[in-house]
A and B are shown apart, each in its own frame.
Chain A
Amino acid sequence: MKTSLKINGEVHDLDADSRTTLLDALRNHLDLTGTKKGCDHGQCGACTVIVNGRRINSCLSLACMHDGDEITTIEGLGQPGNLSDLQAAFVKHDGYQCGYCTPGQICSATAMLQEVKDGWPSHVSDSLTGTYDLTEAEISERMSGNLCRCAAYPNIVDAIRDAAGKVQS
């Protein structure tokens, strides 16, 4: 299957078995191993990438379904020495331990902040029609699709609040 993927602003032409998931395309074919495989079934969030502005589980999508799509992976958000606000906040707040779920957490959080800006409610929102603050409960619920077995959750919440505050101010 010939597929053209625009990843982190750069066009990649992929010619892979139609069975290749977006996740395996990134990791095994394009050597973008920042995106992690934790469960391969949409049950952990380690493979989260941003496609056309929305976060998705790259393990549950075929690469060939994304021909022409704009994909942002962790490598596109920042690099050592040039960290995004969220990446820097994860370091500062120890929003990780082993680091394996971390790229997925950060991609997820990046897109999640946009969802909040877009006025999307969550399961824990008091009202379906209000505006939504980044309370601990809101962040925790919205980030619950990203498992962290090291359980840096409290630090992840702190990191997101810190980075979001920077973005807002």
Chain B
Amino acid sequence: MTAISERQQRAYIASQAADMRVNVELETEGMTLNIGPQHPATHGTLRIIVKLDGELVVAADPVPGYMHRGYEKLTEVRTYPQVNTLINRIDWLGSFANEVPFILAAEQLMDVEAPPRAQWIRTLLFELSRIANVTLFLGDMAVQLGAVTPVFYAFRDREYVLNLIESATGGRFHPNFDRIGGIKDDLPKGWIAETKQVMVKVNAFCDELEALLLGNEIFNVRTRGIGVIPPEVALSYGMSGANLRASGVDWDHRRDTPVGLVYDKLDWKVWTHPDGDSFARYWVRLQEVREAAKMVIQLCDGLPPGPIMAKVPRIIKVPEGEAWVATENPLGEMGYYVVSKGELVPFRVKIRSASFNNISIVPWLLRGVYVPDVITILASLYFILGDIDR
């Protein structure tokens, strides 16, 4: 009897010890993981400090500023045309789209309106910038999930669009083509026909990616229900663009307040998605590229003849006043608050860039997700460092 109880006792002690050992092994201490500032997933130099409990993210703290170039200070010491050159480089993938709201704000203060043809060409280049910008996202998002092929497709088809922008403006990346009162040049000969051909390629690219990715099981498992943002939270963080529309908020500057651009003359559609997850953000952007291609074809067909510059003085002095103009840029709402004191240089320019607000939600969004999802969520939010740090 004692022997049995002894054996039982020993077994009990052994099981206790095993339990304790397992507990010791499974119990993990908090770990701090540093992502960046140079990391392939951060499109540049965003640094994120993530506190982990096992695989679970307890807290995430993004550290921006590795690309802070001081735009708002520099605008105060540059003339309006010089500012235009500078702000091309904020969102460097859709450069032309950065110029438009600033030029529109200056035009509003000067009470100048660009002639119709200039407005159409502006809208045309605006949408081409959107295609050049978002196609890279469509390929890049797949890379973050481990599929390498789509990014090669994206770079391939993006080159055609960049060639168009280059042949029209002279700059592959930074056109600096918009002027107060109009645009610099008219479109080159044969450009319209070529643009239409390229749009066929862009549509084919969208179909290809849809076939490759949207039905893919891995893609669905990694993005559906991951990184869900409810609309009220998105609004309170000031998220905009496709990120907001993927949360079901039906708001688009192009449709609702098309200041100075001709979106109201086109037949197109604003896409939203009710889910608010990574998949929704990808899906909405894919549809936006299609809509942009559709718009570009309509813009090519409807381009009115006429002058491309309104009459403005050669040396531009903007009258005293304050103006806010925002447009729906590829990354979201981009706006400039321009304060002028009637001089050659602006007194103060507040640059409201989309990615800054879109990324400020990261501490809220990454709490409680798993480590592998950190990268996909960041990729699906789609930010550009120049647009965060300015």
A interacts with B: no
